[in-house]
């Protein structure tokens, strides 16, 4: 692993520990050009008067929804660490498990409510007066009440009809408001609920002054188009804020959250790494990845993005999982480039193959150059990092050797560096060094692969296709044969 300047990475590395975060085969580097256009944003959505893509709030639910994750067990100390980390990141609200869930849950609500965080604290309770009173007594800033409105839940969960739901919702909302607390009312399983029932219920609670109404895709069945249509319709019915909660069973949570904001929603529920019931909900990092492309200035002005990896590592450790390799922003491979044609373009201008700037999140980009897919531009960059001056023809020749060896065994960065260094030494040495230590069988295979690569290059019609992964032929040097 070559050293990365501290100012470039803010002390972070992509990945999550030695198991999937080892960078032995990669090169981190700076680039001379900006990785995104500096003028108007060509990726910004088409704006209309309802869109809140550039004006949204996050309700961070790791300490509520996240506690429902299969592996989750958060003691009070861990909850406080997570709450403080989320507050430092800049989330607007932190949602906590219902104090009615257990005595310890009640104590935890009280402890976090007393921390004096900038983020408002909420707790999520059933739509009944007993839960609401208990929630108010914990000292949280707001109460989120919820009740199932689909036929599935009315029949098989709480057993109440819409008349009861509306009457109870109004009573609970009026009580919480009388105690000086924020109040959100949400249906559960909104996308499998009757639309007329939903709109009638939301209209009733809006009229009595609820702060937010919530839409919940409890089973992850909604599509972006369905989300847009429902939120847009609801926006025409209520004047209060609209909160949205999307489960990720079908992989649509981030897209659904984005469409909800386009349609006029104001608040998005998230959890760190998306943990929650079953496959979880909209991940905080994934939402940040989507939103920074839409409005970089707004996102960067509001959230300390460089804290994201620290928060994800904290939660991942607490629930004993690894951050996925393809996790947006912080995954092991998020800003890693391997193919030769990609590496050349990235070296010239990162925006060619990156829509997000890694340094915005305190991350680094990497190029994997110790592989059969490497191109000579990546090897040239590495040689320059090593302080070795070579002509382009010489770089192309050593690239052939690296690719040939990569065809017969996995390479580490030290293997590629050894080949580059020894090739450079042999250019002017009286006595040549072996490029790398190989067994007898490996030497035979290496020679065969090198010959195949050279023959392939000679058959190429365009000997100037330097941007491709395959390397043009080079003049034979005295280091062509590995002894």
The set of catalytic residues is: 342
Query: Could you give phi then psi for residue 366, rounded to 5 degrees?
Result: -130, 155
CB 252 within 8 A of CB 220: yes
CA end-to-end span of the chain: 27
Helices and strands (H, E) in the chain, number of each type: 18, 11
Cross-strand pairs, 269:
59
Instruction: Kindly give, in sequence order, each residue whose CB lies less than 8 Å from that of residue 103, ignoring residues fewer than 6 positions away.
Output: none
Assign residue 70 a region (left: φ > 0; alpha: ψ between -120 and 50; beta: otherwise): alpha
Parallel, antiparallel, or unpaired: how do β-strands 366-368 and 120-126 relate? unpaired
Calpha distance 443→465 (Å, rounded): 29
Q: Residue 53 is encoded by which pair of tokens? A: 């893509």
Long-range contacts of 12-15 (CB under 8 A, 24+ apart): 12/306, 12/309, 12/310, 12/362, 12/363, 12/364, 13/364, 14/330, 14/331, 14/332, 14/333, 14/334, 14/335, 14/336, 14/363, 14/364, 14/366, 15/323, 15/331, 15/332
Give the gyration radius of the chain's Cα atoms: 28
Q: What's the CA angle centered on 329, arms 352 and 26, to 5 degrees?
A: 70
Calpha distance 364→328 (Å, rounded): 13
Instruction: Kindly give, in sequence order, each residue whose CB lies less than 8 Å from that of residue 181, ignoring residues fewer than 6 positions away.
Output: 136, 140, 141, 142, 143
CB 227 within 8 A of CB 263: yes
Percentages of the chain per state (helix, strand, coil), in multiples of 5: 45, 10, 45
Parallel, antiparallel, or unpaired: how do β-strands 57-60 and 267-270 relate? parallel
CB 123 within 8 A of CB 97: yes
The upper half-sphere exposure of residue 186, i.e. CA atoms within 13 Å in the direction of its Cβ, equals: 27
């Amino acid at each position: 692993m070559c050293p990365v300047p501290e100012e470039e990475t803010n002390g972070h590395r992509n990945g999550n520990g030695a198991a999937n975060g080892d960078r032995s085969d990669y090169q981190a580097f700076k680039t001379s050009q900006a990785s995104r256009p500096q003028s108007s944003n060509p990726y910004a959505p088409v704006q209309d008067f309802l869109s809140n893509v550039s004006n949204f709030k996050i309700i961070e639910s790791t300490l509520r929804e996240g506690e429902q994750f299969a592996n989750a067990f958060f003691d009070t100390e861990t909850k406080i660490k997570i709450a403080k980390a989320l507050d430092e990141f800049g989330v607007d609200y932190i949602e906590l498990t219902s104090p009615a869930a257990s005595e310890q849950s009640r104590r935890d609500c009280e402890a976090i409510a007393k921390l004096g965080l900038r983020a408002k604290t909420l707790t999520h309770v059933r739509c009944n007066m007993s839960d609401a009173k208990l929630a108010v007594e914990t000292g949280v800033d707001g109460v989120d009440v919820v009740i199932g409105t689909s036929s599935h839940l009315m029949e098989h969960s709480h057993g109440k009809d819409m008349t009861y739901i509306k009457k109870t919702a109004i009573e609970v909302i009026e009580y919480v408001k009388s105690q000086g607390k924020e109040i959100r009312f949400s249906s559960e399983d909104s996308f499998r609920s009757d639309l007329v029932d939903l709109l009638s219920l939301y209209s009733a609670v809006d009229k009595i002054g609820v702060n937010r109404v919530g839409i919940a895709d409890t089973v992850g069945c909604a599509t972006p188009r369905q989300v847009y249509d429902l939120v847009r319709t609801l926006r025409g019915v209520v004047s209060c804020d609209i909160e949205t909660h999307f489960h990720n069973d079908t992989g649509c949570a981030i897209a659904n959250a984005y469409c909800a904001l386009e349609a006029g929603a104001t608040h998005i529920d998230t959890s760190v790494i998306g943990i929650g019931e079953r496959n979880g909900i909209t991940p905080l990092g994934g939402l940040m990845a989507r939103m920074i492309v839409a409005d970089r200035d707004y996102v960067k002005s509001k959230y300390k993005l460089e804290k994201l990896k620290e928060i994800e590592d904290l939660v991942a450790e607490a629930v004993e999982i690894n951050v996925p390799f393809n996790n947006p922003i912080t995954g092991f491979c998020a800003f890693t480039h391997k193919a030769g044609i990609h590496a050349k373009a990235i070296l010239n201008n990162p925006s060619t193959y990156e829509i997000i700037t890694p340094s915005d999140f305190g991350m680094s980009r990497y190029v994997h150059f110790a592989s059969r897919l490497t191109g000579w531009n990546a090897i040239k960059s590495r040689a320059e990092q090593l302080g070795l001056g070579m002509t382009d023809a010489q770089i192309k020749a050593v690239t052939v050797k690296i690719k040939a060896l990569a065809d017969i065994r996995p390479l580490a960065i030290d293997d590629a560096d050894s080949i580059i260094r020894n090739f450079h030494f042999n250019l002017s040495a009286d006595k040549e060094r072996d490029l790398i230590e190989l067994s007898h069988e490996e030497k035979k295979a290496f020679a065969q692969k090198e010959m195949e690569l050279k023959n392939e290059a000679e058959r190429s019609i365009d000997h100037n296709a330097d941007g491709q992964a395959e390397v043009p032929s080079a003049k034979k040097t005295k280091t062509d044969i590995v002894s």
